[in-house]
Amino acid sequence: MKVGVVNETYPGELRVALVPDIVGQLAKKGFDVVIEAGAGVSAGYADAAYEAKGATVVPSRKEVFDAADIIAQVRSAGANPDGCQADFDLMREGQIIVGAAEPLSRPDLVAKMAEKKVSAFGLELIPRTTRAQAMDILSSMATVSGYRAVLWAADKLPKFFPMFMTAAGTVAPAKVFIMGAGVAGLQAIATAKRLGAVVSAYDIRPAVKEEIMSLGAKFVEMDLESGAGEGGYAKEMDEEFYRKQRELMTTVIADSDVVITTAAVPGKKAPILVTEEMVKGMAPGSVIIDLAAERGGNCELTKAGETVEVHGVTIAGPENVPATLAFHASQMYAKNIYNFLCNMLSKDRERKNEFDLEQEDDILAGTWMTKGGEVVHDVVKEALGNAAGGQA
């Protein structure tokens, strides 16, 4: 099987789907890799490094699509809504497309892939199971985002993060509050602690209290119903829940130097957790980093892709955070792709290097969006139906 990698065409996307080391590992599993010239350069990986690991570098995108049985992308379909249009013309029947596809936000573009009769897999749909962790792009990219958010906050805050005892007196440590303790939130907690801040955190899932405390942060208790959903995700709550949550959160936020918000529900608009009134209560010079900016933001004053100052508070709404650390983000993403492709190989020991998409496998079933000209994923079909109903 030939795996193809092309340049990412989404504006500002610097990552690449495979890195040279993974090319070498795929070769041992029986895969050949063909890569478009320059595909890894923006992430720090030269063409020569791919060739040294056995990849074939070709000059054009079309040559990759023509040669490859599998196209591995960072962003396909809905994750690259403008750039994907050109790729539809290059796809051929039976080809396998693997990557992030934003299928719940843009199911119409998944339907267009179905029209091309490709087998498209959306890696955001990976089940939250122990076996699937090594393929979970949401978790690996959230690790990058949580780390980066704290560094941005430290840069923008006009204070030290750690406590200092100096001849000029003692400097109190910064107070950092993390809202949401998924992978991004936990990484943010760990990073802020390493920088010496006093860290507290809150999540609507009470079960994560132990994880928060194990990283040295204080868990903020609130008298609210559990928001734990299926598969380890937080579920979408009603407006009354968020109203009460905001009331209880006001004092905590007012006492914080930095607030990092990470709350997002897949395929939905992010809930508003920080209101303008809450921002008014923060001290001048405080910082909010809103990691949910791409989905509307957890702060009602967030402007996606911008950093603004409102009521003396700096509010950053970064987009595509993993691309800002493209070298290691690509490395992690490529490992997820490698594990996913290896999972497609037959579990039969005598056919260990043969592809078997028809095997019973919860990961394949959970991510397979299009097959034989049809959208086959139930959740994506539901999103497609809802989108069609909204247009009617």
Q: What is the pLDDT of residue 48?
A: 98
Evaluated on CA atoms 34, 36, 40, 46, the torsion sign reads positive
Domain count, the chain: 2
For this structure, is 133 an active site residue? yes
Are 318 and 328 found together in one domain?
no
Give the integer Cα–Cα distance in Å for 329 and 337. Answer: 12
Is 16 within the bounds of a domain? yes
Same domain, residue pair 249 and 362 = no
Confidence bin at 268 (pLDDT 50/70/90): confident
Confidence of residue 391 (pLDDT cuts 50, 70, 90): low
Does any domain span residue 275?
yes
* 311 lies in the same domain as 339: no
Q: Return the minimum-mean-pLDDT range out of 62-76, 202-216, 345-359.
A: 345-359
Residue 186 sits in the same domain as residue 318: yes
Which of these three, 322, 346, 369, is where a domain ends? 322
Taking the model in full, what pTM does it have?
A: 0.92
Task: Look at residue 226 in the predicted model and tell me its pLDDT.
Answer: 54
pLDDT band at 244 (very low <50, low <70, confident <90, very high): confident
Q: Are residues 254 and 312 in the same domain?
A: yes
Domain boundary among 322, 353, 372: 322
**Residue 233 annotated as catalytic:** yes
pLDDT at 37 over 80: yes
Q: Please report the pLDDT score of residue 240 as a whole number.
A: 75
Residue 76 or 354, more confident: 76
Q: Do 333 and 202 share a structural domain? A: no
Does 153 fall in a domain? yes
Catalytic residue among 25, 108, 128, 361: 128
pLDDT, position 207: 83
**220 in the same domain as 105:** no
Residue 260 pLDDT grade (very low, low, confident, very high; cuts 50, 70, 90): very high
pLDDT of amino acid 204 = 83
Residue 346 annotated as catalytic: no
Check which CATH number belongs to the domain holding 255 and give it: 3.40.50.720
Strand partners, 247: none
What's the average model confidence in pLDDT over 11-27?
Answer: 97
Q: Are residues 109 and 212 in the same domain?
A: no
Given this model, what pLDDT does residue 249 score? Answer: 86
Does the annotation count 50 as an active-site position? Answer: no
pLDDT at 227: 47
Express each pLDDT in 93-141 by its tens digit: 999 999 999 999 999 999 999 999 999 999 999 998 999 999 999 999 9
- Spell out the alpha helix ranges (H) of 13-136: 20-28, 47-52, 61-67, 84-90, 107-115
Annotated active-site residue 76? The verdict is no
Residue 387 lies in a domain: no
234 and 271 inside one domain: yes
pLDDT of residue 335 exceeding 60: yes
pLDDT of residue 266: 77
In this structure, the answer to whether residues 129 and 231 fall within a common structural domain is no
Residues 285-327 have pLDDT tens digits of 999 999 999 999 999 999 999 999 999 999 999 999 999 999 9
Give the angle 99-102-108 at the CA atoms, nearest 5°. Answer: 110
* Mean pLDDT calculated for residue range 160-179: 95
Identified catalytic residue from 21, 25, 47, 133: 133
| Nearest alpha carbon to residue 94 among 2, 8, 17 | 2
Domain of 246, in residue numbers: 146-322
Asked if 97 contacts 120 with a C-beta cutoff of 8 angstroms, the reply is yes
- CB-based burial label for 154 (10 Å; 0-12, 13-18, 19+): buried
Single residue among 322, 338, 358 that ends a domain in this structure: 322
Indicate if 246 and 340 belong to the same structural domain: no
Least confident of 86-100, 137-151, 205-219, 342-356: 342-356
pLDDT, residue 389, reads 62
What does the pLDDT average to over 179-202?
96
Q: Report the interhelical angle of 326-343 vs 137-156 (nearest 10°).
A: 170
Q: What is the pLDDT of residue 205?
A: 82
Percentage of the chain modeled with pLDDT above 70? 94
Residue 391 domain-assigned?
A: no
Q: What is the pLDDT of residue 350?
A: 62
Catalytic pick among 50, 87, 136, 286:
136
390 within a domain of the structure (yes/no)? no
Of the residues 233, 346, 359, 361, only one is catalytic, namely 233
Average pLDDT, the chain: 92
Residue 208 in any domain: the answer is yes
Verify that 257 and 304 share a domain, yes or no: yes
218 is a domain residue? yes
Q: What is the pLDDT of residues 221-239, one digit of tens each?
A: 876 655 444 554 555 666 7
Assess contact for 325 and 305: CB atoms under 8 A.
no
pLDDT at 392: 40
